[in-house]
Amino acid sequence: MTLRDIIYDESIRFILSGGKGGVGKTSCAGAIALLSAQRGFRTLVISTDPAHSLSDSFDQDLSGGDIVEIKGVDNLWGMEIDSERGMKEFQESLGQIGGPESAMASQFLGGTDSLAPPGSDEAMAFGKMLEFLSDTSFDRVVFDTAPTGHTLKLLELPDLLDSWLGKLLTLRQRLSSMMAGLRAFLGGGQEEDRSWEMLQSTKEKIRQARIALADPKTTQFVVVMIPEAMAVFETQRLLASLHAWDIPVSNIIVNQLVPENPSCTFCTNRRRMQQANLADIKDLYRDLHITEVPLFDHEIRGIEELKMLGGILIGAED
C-alpha cells in the first residue's frame, strides 16, 4: 500500500506521523493533512508533541489548545494540544464523575501512586484521540507526534488507562456502598448516581480506541526517518514496539536525501553514505512501502512548501 493509497482512502480516519527527533515528522504530518483536505476530507491536524512546531510549519498560530481554521486551505483545521489546560479540564471532569464522593475519590487518587492518572501530555493526546474517534465532525485526524520515546508512551496508554480505570471502578464501588450507608444513617434519600456508568462508558471508549488503533483500515502510522545509522537503529525499536501493540504500519518516508552533485565532494560523500543506508533500509523493510524525499536547499515552511512536499509524497511512486 503506497502513501497515496492511504491518504486517498476515505476509511482511514487516523494517520500518525512519527520517528526520531528532527527527521521531518511535523513537515510530513502537515503535508499529509494538506493532501487530505485537498482531497475533500474534513481534516484536523493535531500536534501531540509538547515542544510544538506545527504553528511554525504552517506559519500560522495554532497554539492555545483550540481548534483553529487553517487560512488559505478549505477543509483544514489545526490544533496544538495545551496539556496544562487539558489536565485541568480532565480533573474537573473527574470531579463530575466522582459524584457526591468526588472529593474523597480525588484524595485517594492523589494519595496513591498506583491510582494516579498516567502522564499528562500523553493522556491529553490520547484524550483527543478518544474524542475524535466518536466525533465525526472530522473525516480525518492527522497526528504530528513527539519523538519516539514520548510517542511510545502515548501508544501504551490505552492499556495503562484501562487498568487505571479498573482500579478506579473498584474504589468507586467501595466508596459508593459506604456513602449509601452513611446517607441512610443520616436519613437522606436515594440520590441518583451516574458516575458508575460514566466510568464504565469511558472504559468502553478506551476499548473501542484500542480496536481502532489496531485496525489497518482505520489507522496508519507513517514512520519518518533519515538515511543515517542512528535513525535506522531508532526506527528498528519504534517498529518493534508498534508491532507489539498491533499498530498498523505500511509506509516509511526516508527524508532529506542529498541529491546528486558531482562537483561537490562534500555532497558526494554524504550521498554515498546515505545511499548505503538507504539500501539497508530497503533490505530491512521489504514489506513496507518506502517513499524517498530529497533534501531541499531551503526549509519547509508555509502552505506552498508543504504542498510541494505533499506532491513528492504522493507523486514519487508514479
Ligand X SMILES: Nc1ncnc2c1ncn2[C@@H]1O[C@H](COP(=O)(O)OP(=O)(O)OP(=O)(O)O)[C@@H](O)[C@H]1O
Closer to ligand X by Cβ: residue 27 or 219: 27
Binding of ligand X by 299 (CB under 6 A):
yes
Which DSSP string corresponds to 172-217? HHHHHHHHHHHHHHTT--PPP--HHHHHHHHHHHHHHHHHHHT-TT
Binding of ligand X by 295 (CB under 6 A):
yes
User: What phi, psi does 219 have (nearest 5°)?
Assistant: -125, 140
Whole-angstrom Cα distance, residue 310 to residue 45?
A: 14
Quote the Cα angle for 199-107-109, to 5°. 50
Residues that contact ligand X, how many (by CB under 6 A): 18
| Cβ-contact 49, 291 below 8 angstroms | no
**Binding window for ligand X (CB under 6 A); candidates: 25-33, 79-87, 105-113, 126-134:** 25-33
Strands 76-80 and 68-69, by their bridges, are antiparallel
Task: Provide the binding-site residues for Mg ion, judged by CB under 5 A.
Answer: 25-26, 53
Burial level of 82, CB count in 10 A (0-12/13-18/19+)? middle
Whole-angstrom Cα distance, residue 226 to residue 20?
A: 9
Closer to Mg ion by Cβ: residue 27 or 202: 27
Least spacing, CB of residue 238 vs ligand X, in Å = 13
Where would I find the H helices in the chain? Answer: 3-8, 25-38, 54-58, 83-98, 102-111, 120-134, 148-185, 195-213, 229-244, 265-284, 303-315
One of 78, 147, 227, 248 touching ligand X (CB under 6 A): 147
202 binds, among ligand X, Mg ion, none (CB under 5 to 8 A by kind): none
293 binds, among Mg ion, ligand X, none (CB under 5 to 8 A by kind): ligand X
Closer to ligand X by Cβ: residue 55 or 102: 55
Least spacing, CB of residue 29 vs Mg ion, in Å = 8
21 binds, among ligand X, Mg ion, none (CB under 5 to 8 A by kind): ligand X
Nearest to 21 by CA among 49, 62, 60: 49
296 binds, among Mg ion, ligand X, none (CB under 5 to 8 A by kind): ligand X
| DSSP for residue 295 | P
Binding of ligand X by 235 (CB under 6 A):
no
Binding of ligand X by 128 (CB under 6 A):
no
One of 4, 25, 150, 271 touching ligand X (CB under 6 A): 25
Residue 198 is placed in which grid cell? 460514566
One of 6, 16, 24, 271 touching ligand X (CB under 6 A): 24
256 binds, among Mg ion, ligand X, none (CB under 5 to 8 A by kind): ligand X
Nearest to 248 by CA among 218, 284, 226: 218
Contact pattern from residue 31 through residue 50 relative to ligand X, giving x for each residue in contact according to CB under 6 A and a dash for the rest: ------------------x-
255 binds, among Mg ion, ligand X, none (CB under 5 to 8 A by kind): ligand X
User: What phi, psi does 19 have (nearest 5°)?
Assistant: 155, -165
Closer to Mg ion by Cβ: residue 17 or 195: 17
| Cβ-contact 7, 35 below 8 angstroms | yes
Least spacing, CB of residue 29 vs ligand X, in Å = 8
> Where in 239-258 is the site for ligand X (CB under 6 A)?
255-256
Please report, as ranges, the residues that interact with ligand X according to CB under 6 A: 21-27, 49, 53, 147, 255-256, 293, 295-296, 299-301
